[in-house]
Structure 1
Amino acid sequence: MPMIQFILNNKTIKTSQNSGMTLLDFVRYEQSLTGTKIGCREGDCGACTVLVGTLKNNEHIEYQSITSCISPLGNAHGKHIVTVEGTNLQDKLTTAQEAMKANYATQCGFCTPGFVVSLTGFALSNSEKNHNNALNAISGNICRCTGYKAIEKAAYQVVEKLQDQKTDNSFNWLIKNEFIPDYFKSIPKRLKDLDVKNIQQPKGKYVSGGTDLYVQQADNLVDNSVHLIAEKDYLKEITFNNNICTIGSNSTVSDLWNNTELNAKLPNLRKYLKLVSSEQIRNMASFGGNLVNASPIADMAIFFLALNSKITITNVEEEKERIISLKNFYQGYKTYDLKEGELIKNITFKLPTDQTFFNFEKVCKRTHLDIASVNSAIQISLANNIISTAHISIGGVSAIPKYLHKTSSFLAGKTLTSKTIIEANDILQEEISPISDVRGTSDYKRLLGRQLFFAHFIELFPKQFTLKDFVQHA
């Protein structure tokens, strides 16, 4: 059986445990590192947060926070995994631990290790050290008994200490200022020395980040063989060529978040992506996985449908490829045009121009980090206030992530007026078929579909439309 090798805190691990086992269960039950807590087992609460360090360009390590409860053990191969125990100093508190203590930011203490790990990951990250980014770093950590203001103050205290870092991003500065223990200096060399040739993957369920599959099928995946594809190079990278963006299906939401060229073309991209998930999940979740999960409310499926994306499908031997429109991919509830042994290789779409406008909207029970009741996206191109093309998608109102063919076709060639938009909503209502469930009644979802449709135009064209233009239809 192939050996999974990685460094866990300051210890080199070689294990033949099933690669589908969760990283959380391995660190708790096989390594007795019980500071990493079991909470929701769905990636929502952040109590199980750990850091994953990846060796880049064979010289430096990039650390990201993840929720270990839905991460397969095999994805740790060749990485540095840091639990809360791995952040400890000898006989003193780290800067993150001291900040939590000084601001009375802990009560029962169950969630505290996750917050400490996330704040330590923030200190290790390449992101600008400001208050907003610090709060983003702990956005996936939930506390059920302490007022969040105390936790925010702790995060701000960490930021203030990091202000002195200036341009020195070395481990030495962080060690000297008591953010991390000094063994971190040895990790790059030790990772280089590991024998981390690609493990021969067994036949089994394809798994990339696991953020969807481990919520739905954790027991089955833990006990059976899985085929891990997160490290397959041909499924990675974001490239730009002739105004076409190509995103490898193993790319994560964080890869989009951090891509400067894409953020320049879609200036509100981070605003949209913040609605999708917490930082921990953004660091794990792959686009290919989101698309093939085929949830009717899949945020990124809705996002890419409105971009009129195409997907390249390959077989596992990389021998044959075919390209189809994403809007033709979904066939029914949880069914899609993917044959046995096939994978989504990449997603491609045209980059927006000066006359192309894009927006994403989402309504859920809480503002962030929740599944949608209804979500929607639009891409619309204009020439002299005439709509050249429109691509509209909506989730939560059909058995599939829904591309609105009729509504999009109706808008093409029309003058952009409130009358046109109101008429288009009538067609939209005919295209959708919501059902009542835990996220709302069918009538409520119809209302949300209408309101989000109107919201697209108010958001994109604030000088042309206000709520008053649609109030009689609201």
Structure 2
Amino acid sequence: MIKFILNNKEVSTAMPSGTPVLDFVRYHQDLTGTKIGCREGDCGACTVVIGELKHGELRYRSATSCLMPLGNAHGKHIVTIEGVNMDELNPVQQAMADESATQCGFCTPGFVMSMAGFCLSKTVPTPQNAVAAVDGNICRCTGYKSIERAAGHVANLLAERSAEDPITFATKQGILPPYFSSIQERLQVMTLGLNGELANDNPVAQRVGGGTDLYVQKHDEIKDASIRFLFDDADLKGISRIGNQCVIGPSTTVTDLIESPVMQAHFPDFNAYTKLVSSTPIRNMATIGGNFINASPIGDFTIFFLALDATLTLSDGATSRELPLRNLYQGYKTLDKRPEEYLEQIRFDLPDARTRCNFEKVSKRTHLDIASVNSAIFISVENDIITSARLSAGGVAPIPKQLVKTGQFLTGKSITEELIIESTAIAQTEITPISDARGTEVYKRLLLSQLIKAHFIKLFPELNVKQLLAQ
């Protein structure tokens, strides 16, 4: 039995655990304010806010309910647009109305919920961050300037919050309904008896983390499948530093990585990289392990961690083995992994003061889009000599590709324009792009060369090689 708090009431259901939350709230709870749009997490019309206990503290994040299985709602607080309604328009809704930020109204509930999630988060309440909170919402007819102004008003509502708990502040200021102040205690009581209720030892059960790609690919198949849920498995979450290594649980989300002190300390530009990947609601749901196992040839974080030369630990529940990430991919969507094995741990060596890293991505849209080509580099330099170099690229082969020959070619040499140009030529021998909807073979080859040059321009500005991109 799946149990959670839906808005202000406790619900339980014996429906298949793979049922999307979107379908449950609309068709079985008659909460039709949450809209059905793309069913791929792209439009944001189905956005809800999810509250969960983490280390004894209640934390809220926005999510796309079309990609969220009911099993991942177990023991949590699910908030739909009906759950933020008050006797009159709440201040977020009022800001949208005051700025004429709605026309047909179809997308409006999603925008309101993303802004409500912003109000419940610890994100610094600046207008820029308020606008970023709706980066997963698409408006079809109103235009975005009025919505941006409404987001600015929402940020102003939080200006006096300071260090006060966001939930307390939002309820005390009448931004959200008073019942939010009781949710933490109610969840604590509810979750006392929930441990193990969704356990599934079926060896052939479909493993599901965040579901952000599975529900796009296999929506009809997975909703009735036998599922082993990994998203809330405490043994598969967390980010820690052990010696000179970073150890990550595969159920760690992208947002967890962004907020990690370890990642912030060693990858100061990581947040900028993630802005190029999906959207806030998807980053709140998508797991790093899922990105790896999905085996997309253009998986953004797979490309990043390939350049890190990450090592995986795979387990069948009885025995474990280690495998370099670069060796996981044997062909298109083909893995060196037995069906009974699951990803248990990810680890990599943390960069030192001599190491520079960069991630680049080209897509038809800057945000919320799939890469035509993406690439990452980790390069160490000592006394003007490259002591190690690892490059990776996506969209240029049937698998996410570590450019081993290119890295070997760069190692032991001084950085010059000639070396960079020669390295792009080596990279061309390692790839086999195809022409598809995201670009022709020729275009993708050109992109990879330009991205390699962009790595060096970004990481070594003292070389003054910006003219490289024109070559």
TM-score normalized with structure 1 length:
0.97
User: In 1, are the aligned partners of 2:373 and 2:393 still within 8 Å (CA)?
Assistant: yes
CA distance in 1, matches of 2:210, 2:462: 42
AA in 1 matched with 2:430? E
Q: How does 1:16-55 map to 2 (within 5 A)?
A: 16-55=14-53
**The 10-residue stretch of structure 1 (74-83 or 180-189) with the greater mean CA deviation from structure 2:** 180-189
AA in 1 matched with 2:24? F
Deviation by residue 1:295-353 (Cα, 9 ceiling, x = unmatched): 000001000000111111111x2x21111111111100000111121111121111111
User: In 1, are the aligned partners of 2:312 and 2:325 still within 8 Å (CA)?
Assistant: yes
CA distance in 2, matches of 1:23, 1:328: 36
SS of structure 2 residue aligned to 1:327: helix
Deviation by residue 1:93-137 (Cα, 9 ceiling, x = unmatched): 111101100111111000000010010110100111112221221
**The 10-residue stretch of structure 1 (406-415 or 129-138) with the greater mean CA deviation from structure 2:** 129-138
**The 10-residue stretch of structure 1 (115-124 or 343-352) with the greater mean CA deviation from structure 2:** 343-352
Q: CA deviation at 1:470?
A: 4.9
Q: CA deviation at 1:86?
A: 0.2
Structure 1 match to 2:173: 177
CA distance in 2, matches of 1:274, 1:110: 26
Structure 2 match to 1:14: 12
Structure 2 match to 1:268: 269
Q: How does 1:22-101 map to 2 (within 5 A)?
A: 22-58=20-56, 60-90=57-87, 92-101=88-97
SS of structure 1 residue aligned to 2:218: helix
AA in 1 matched with 2:407? S
Q: CA deviation at 1:462?
A: 1.3
CA distance in 1, matches of 2:425, 2:278: 31
Does residue 362 (structure 1) correspond to residue 361 (structure 2)? The answer is yes
Structure 1 match to 2:294: 293
Q: CA deviation at 1:178?
A: 2.0
Deviation by residue 1:337-372 (Cα, 9 ceiling, x = unmatched): 111211111211111111101000000010011000
RMSD, aligned α-carbons: 1.1
Q: Percent identity?
A: 52
Q: CA deviation at 1:467?
A: 2.4
CA distance in 1, matches of 2:422, 2:42: 40
CA distance in 1, matches of 2:77, 2:469: 54
**The 10-residue stretch of structure 1 (261-270 or 364-373) with the greater mean CA deviation from structure 2:** 261-270
AA in 2 matched with 1:62? R
Q: How does 1:219-234 map to 2 (within 5 A)?
A: 219-234=220-235
Structure 2 match to 1:431: 430
Q: How does 1:407-422 map to 2 (within 5 A)?
A: 407-422=406-421
Does residue 131 (structure 1) correspond to residue 127 (structure 2)? The answer is yes
SS of structure 1 residue aligned to 2:446: helix
Q: CA deviation at 1:173?
A: 2.7
Q: How does 1:7-406 map to 2 (within 5 A)?
A: 7-58=5-56, 60-90=57-87, 92-169=88-165, 171-194=167-190, 195-198=193-196, 199-201=198-200, 203=202, 204-315=205-316, 317=317, 319-406=318-405
SS of structure 1 residue aligned to 2:462: coil
CA distance in 2, matches of 1:131, 1:461: 33
Q: CA deviation at 1:202?
A: 5.8
Q: Give 4+ residue runs of structure 1 displaced > 3 Å after superposition.
A: none
User: In 1, are the aligned partners of 2:119 and 2:166 still within 8 Å (CA)?
Assistant: no
CA distance in 2, matches of 1:243, 1:149: 46
Q: CA deviation at 1:170?
A: 5.0
AA in 1 matched with 2:242? N
AA in 1 matched with 2:78? I
CA distance in 1, matches of 2:168, 2:288: 36
User: In 1, are the aligned partners of 2:121 and 2:166 still within 8 Å (CA)?
Assistant: no
CA distance in 2, matches of 1:93, 1:146: 20
Number of residue pairs matched? 466
AA in 2 matched with 1:290? N
Deviation by residue 1:177-210 (Cα, 9 ceiling, x = unmatched): 2211011122112112213222222632100100
Q: What stretches of structure 2 of length at least 5 have no aligned partner?
A: none
SS of structure 2 residue aligned to 1:223: coil
Deviation by residue 1:202-221 (Cα, 9 ceiling, x = unmatched): 63210010011110001000
